[in-house]
């Protein structure tokens, strides 16, 4: 399925229209008024730039904020923080490109007790993509997912309700995977590798700050208010069956050896890429965001150590220095190959 974006930008106003196989539709949420908000522009030495609005001290991409495909965080986040959470609710939290699609599909299969792909894309249960009223309509047990900071998710998850899985991946591979992701997004300005890496080293990334995000979640987990399951992408690649059993044990759901093997086979990247082409949001009669539902965009390589094909020796030394300083108090240890 091919998607196209058309954008009109009168001043700060943005109107997007989606086209797919001859059909078109407009975004579901009204574009928020940014009058009075602080707007910051960040630039790389190569000339690549992005504009951000600042809300509650957090930077939000102006382009994405005005896309109309997500609720306005100024009203959505306060409602989201107070959303009711049930004991059988599950949340998968992760920075971008850390395996959220992968683990979400695994969890859905475990809950069904069979290696059957979910017919709907994971984006239908993404906390930042839908209003609280829509999120409430998800069938139980609800499996939510998010890239949000802990300060913006339902407070009940932090206080012990439901189950929370936190996914991690080494920042060098995250950078490479994000680079390809954003380079291929049609609503994003194209950045060359050097520009993208500059944003990662200087600001922690384009969409969000990996250093800050990881440290904030680390601090929240270390408070010990609830039990989390932390999963490293690299361990999921190296020992998928054992990782799946860890997930099943944490969720307190049965998983036979045969089921574990079948789920691991069906959740290989090649099979998930193919299966994802048929996913559909039955609630809105469209993908929740057509670009986000593009299998070739979401499932690239799924490898550990691909960063070696992109980082020069000097670039690797530079990010190592930043990591040494920014992550000096982190309890997380990362594997890079």
Which domains are seen in the chain, by residue range?
Answer: 3-326 (3.40.50.300)
User: To the nearest 5 percent, what fractions of the chain are helix, strand and coil?
Assistant: 45, 15, 40
Strand order in the sheet with 49-55: 39-43, 49-55, 58-61
- Residue 19's pLDDT band (boundaries 50, 70, 90)? very low
Mean pLDDT of 28-38: 82
Handedness of CA 261, 264, 266, 271 (dihedral sign): negative
Distance CA 337, CA 321 (A): 19
Percent of the chain whose predicted confidence (pLDDT) is above 90: 66
Using one digit for the tens of pLDDT, what is the confidence trace for 285-311? 454 445 445 555 565 566 889 999 999
**Distance of CA 69 to CAs 20, 23, 32, 331, Å?**
16, 17, 11, 35
**Whether the model pTM is above 0.75:** yes
Residue 133: CB atoms within 10 A of its CB come to 9
pLDDT in tens, 206-245: 989 999 999 999 999 999 999 999 999 999 999 999 999 9
pLDDT higher than threshold 70 for residue 11: no
């Amino acid at each position: 399925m091919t998607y196209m974006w058309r954008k009109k930008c009168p001043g700060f106003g943005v109107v997007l229209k989606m086209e797919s196989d001859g059909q078109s539709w407009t975004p579901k949420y009204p574009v928020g008024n940014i009058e009075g908000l602080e707007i910051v522009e960040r630039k790389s030495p190569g000339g690549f730039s992005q504009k951000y609005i600042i809300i509650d001290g957090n930077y939000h991409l102006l382009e994405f904020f005005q896309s109309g495909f997500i609720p306005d965080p100024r009203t959505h986040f306060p409602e989201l923080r107070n959303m009711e959470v049930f004991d059988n609710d599950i949340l998968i939290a992760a920075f971008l490109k850390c395996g959220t699609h992968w683990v979400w599909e695994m969890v859905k299969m475990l809950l069904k007790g069979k290696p059957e792909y979910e017919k709907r894309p994971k984006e239908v249960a993404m906390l930042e993509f839908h209003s609280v009223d829509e999120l409430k309509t998800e069938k139980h047990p609800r499996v939510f997912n998010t890239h949000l900071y802990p300060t913006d998710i339902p407070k009940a998850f932090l206080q012990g309700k439901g189950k929370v899985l936190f996914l991690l991946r080494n920042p060098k591979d995250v950078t490479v995977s994000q680079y390809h992701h954003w380079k291929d997004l049609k609503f994003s300005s194209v950045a060359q590798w050097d520009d993208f890496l500059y944003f990662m080293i200087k600001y922690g990334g384009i969409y969000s700050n990996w250093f800050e995000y990881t440290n904030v979640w680390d601090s929240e987990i270390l408070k010990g208010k609830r039990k989390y399951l932390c999963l490293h992408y690299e361990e999921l690649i190296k020992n998928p069956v054992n990782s799946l059993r860890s997930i099943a044990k944490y969720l307190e759901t049965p998983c036979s050896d045969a089921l574990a093997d079948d789920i691991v086979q069906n959740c290989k990247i090649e099979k998930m890429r193919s299966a994802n082409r048929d996913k559909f949001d039955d609630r809105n009669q469209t993908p929740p965001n057509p670009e986000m539902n593009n299998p070739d965009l979401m499932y690239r390589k799924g490898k550990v150590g691909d960063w070696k094909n992109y980082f020069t020796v000097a670039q690797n030394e530079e990010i190592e220095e930043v990591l040494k300083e920014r992550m000096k108090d982190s309890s997380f240890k990362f594997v890079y190959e």
